[in-house]
Chains A and B, each alone.
Chain A
Amino acid sequence: MSTLSDPQQGSFRLSMLLNDTRYRSATLQVIAAIILAACLFYLYSNLAENLREAGLNIAFDFLGAPAGYDINQTLIDYNSQSSNLRAAMVGILNTLLVAFLACITATVFGVIAGVLRLSNNWLVRKLMAVYVEIFRNIPVLIWIIIIFTIMTAVMPAPSAFRGDDPDSTMLFDLFAFTNRGVYIPGPYFTRGIGGEDGSWINWLLVIATMVAALFGTRAVTARAEAKQAATGVRPNTLWINLAIWFVPIIILLTILGLAWDIPALSGFNFGGGLKIGGPLIALWFALSIYTGAFIAENVRAGILAVSKGQTEAASALGLRPRRVMSLVVLPQALRVIIPPLISQYLNITKNSSLAIAVGYADITATLGGITLNQTGRAIECVLLLMAFYLIISLLISAGMNVYNNAVKLKER
Chain B
Amino acid sequence: MSDTHAESVAFVRETAIPASEPPATAAGPIKWMRENLFATPANAALTIAAAYVIYLILASTLPWILNGVWNADSLTECREILQGTSGACFAVLVERWPQLLFGFKYPQEEYWRPLTAFILMFVALAPVLFFDLPRKLLIVTALFPFVAYWLIWGGTIWTPIMALLGFVAGYLVYSRFVTRSFALGFFGGVAAAVVVWLIAGFIVPMLAPETPLLEAVPSRDLGGYMLNMMLGLTCVSLSIPLGIALALGRQSSMPLIKYICVVFIEFIRGVPLITLLFVASVMLAYFFPPEATVDLFLRVVIMITMFSSAYIAEVIRGGLAALPKGQYEAADSLGLDYAQAMRLIILPQALKISIPGIVNIAVGLFKDTTLVSVISMFDIVGMIRGPILASTEWNGVYWELLGFACVVFFVVCYSISQYSQWLERRLATDHR
Q: Chain A: residues with CB nearer than 8 A to chain B?
A: 18-19, 25, 28-29, 32-33, 36, 43, 46-47, 49-51, 53, 119-124, 127, 133-134, 136-142, 145-146, 149, 153, 350-351, 353-354, 356-357, 364, 368, 372, 378-379, 382, 385-386, 389-390, 393-394
Q: How far is the CB of A232 from chain B (nearest CB, A)?
A: 34
Contacts of A137 in B (CB 8 A): 363, 367, 409-410, 413-414, 417
Binds A, one of B48-56, B196-204, B347-355: B48-56
Question: Is the Cβ of B260 less than 8 Å from the Cβ of A368?
Answer: no
Additional A-B contact list (17), CB under 8 Å, known A124-B46, A351-B272, A393-B271: A29-B255, A36-B260, A121-B39, A121-B43, A121-B47, A123-B36, A124-B47, A141-B371, A142-B370, A142-B381, A146-B406, A350-B273, A353-B272, A368-B274, A385-B271, A389-B275, A394-B270
State whether B46 touches A121 (Cβ < 8 A).
yes
| Chain A residues with CB below 8 A from B128, complex form | none
B:44-88 near A, CB below 8 Å: 46-47, 50-51, 53-54
Minimum CB–CB distance from B287 to chain A (whole Å) comes to 5
Which B residues between 241 and 281 are near A, CB-CB below 8 angstroms?
253-257, 260, 267, 269-275, 278-279
Instruction: Determine how close the nearest CB of chain B comes to the CB of A176; give it in whole angstroms.
Output: 23
Residues of A near B255 (CB, < 8 A) are 29
Binary contact track B284-312/A, C-beta < 8 Å → 1, others 0: 01111110000000000000000000000
Chain B residues contacting A372 (CB-CB under 8 Å) are 278, 282
Residues of chain B within 8 A of A382, CB atoms compared: 275, 278-279, 282-283
Task: Indicate if B398 sits at the interface (CB-CB under 8 A).
Answer: yes
Is B27 in contact with chain A by the CB < 8 A criterion? no
Q: Closest A-chain residue to B32, C-beta based? A: A122
In the assembled complex, how far is the CB of residue A55 from the closest CB belonging to chain B, in whole angstroms? 13
Rounded to whole Å, the gap between the CB of A169 and the closest CB of chain B is 21
Choose one: A49, A123, A149, A356; the contact of B374 (CB below 8 Å): A356
Q: Which residues of A contact B420 (CB under 8 A)?
A: none
Contact partners of B39 in chain A: CB under 8 A: 120-121
Contact A123 B37 (CB under 8 A): yes
Q: Which of A32, A36, A354 contacts B274 (CB 8 A)?
A: A354
CB <8 Å contact, B290 and A142: no
Query: A138 contacts B253, CB within 8 Å?
Result: no
B94 interface residue per 8 A CB criterion: no
Q: Which residue of A lies closest to B228 (CB)?
A: A139
Q: Which of A18, A25, A36, A47 contacts B183 (CB 8 A)?
A: A18
| Min CB gap B408→A, angstroms | 10
Smallest Cβ-Cβ distance to A45: which chain B residue = B289
Collect the chain A residues with CB atoms within 8 Å of residue B363's CB: 137
With known contacts A141-B381, A382-B282, A47–B272 Cβ distance under 8 A: no
Distance of A379 from chain B, by nearest CB (Å): 6
User: Could you list some 25 contacts between A and B, CB below 8 A?
Assistant: A28-B257, A29-B254, A29-B256, A29-B257, A32-B257, A33-B256, A36-B260, A47-B286, A120-B35, A120-B39, A120-B43, A122-B37, A123-B36, A137-B413, A142-B381, A142-B406, A145-B385, A149-B402, A353-B272, A354-B374, A356-B274, A379-B283, A385-B271, A385-B275, A393-B269
Beta-carbon contacts under 8 Å, B1-40 to A: 35-37, 39
- Closest CB of chain A to B20's CB: distance in Å? 28
CB atoms of A390 and B267 under 8 A apart: yes
> CA of A375 to CA of B176 in the docked complex: distance in angstroms?
56
Closest Cβ–Cβ distance, residue B393 to chain A (whole Å): 17
- Complex contact B286–A121 (CB within 8 A): no
